[in-house]
Amino acid sequence: MGGFSLWHILIFAIILLLLFGGNRFSAMMGDVAKGLKSFKQGMSDDDEPKRTDQQQRQIPPQQPIDVTPQPTRPAETQSAPPPSDDSAR
């Protein structure tokens, strides 16, 4: 219960062959294989120009950014709270 047995898989495969036919099913698998092949070829074509661009172009070195915190003055960090309405009267 809950799992597929060999009989379930065989019946499912027979139904697929009846719906799509042997010739049409093999043609679809051939189209999938062609798509994968062209995808791999496209990915390899994209990688090659990147390598040559990186070799030809050199980025000039940049100076490092100083990220150390600067000390603050105590008077600047502590400000007086604004007067409330009761104390202003």
Binned average pLDDT, 10 residues per bin, the chain of 89 residues? 83 86 81 92 71 62 81 63 62
Inside any domain, residue 42:
yes
Inside any domain, residue 63:
no
Inside any domain, residue 86:
no
Q: How buried is residue 5: exposed, middle or buried, by Cβ count under 10 Å (0-12/13-18/19+)?
A: exposed
Inside any domain, residue 8:
no
| Number of structural domains in the chain | 1
Domain of 50 in residue numbering reads as: 28-55
pLDDT at 57: 66
Inside any domain, residue 37:
yes
pLDDT at 23: 80
Residue carrying structure tokens 């898989």: 9
Inside any domain, residue 84:
no
Inside any domain, residue 40:
yes
Inside any domain, residue 12:
no
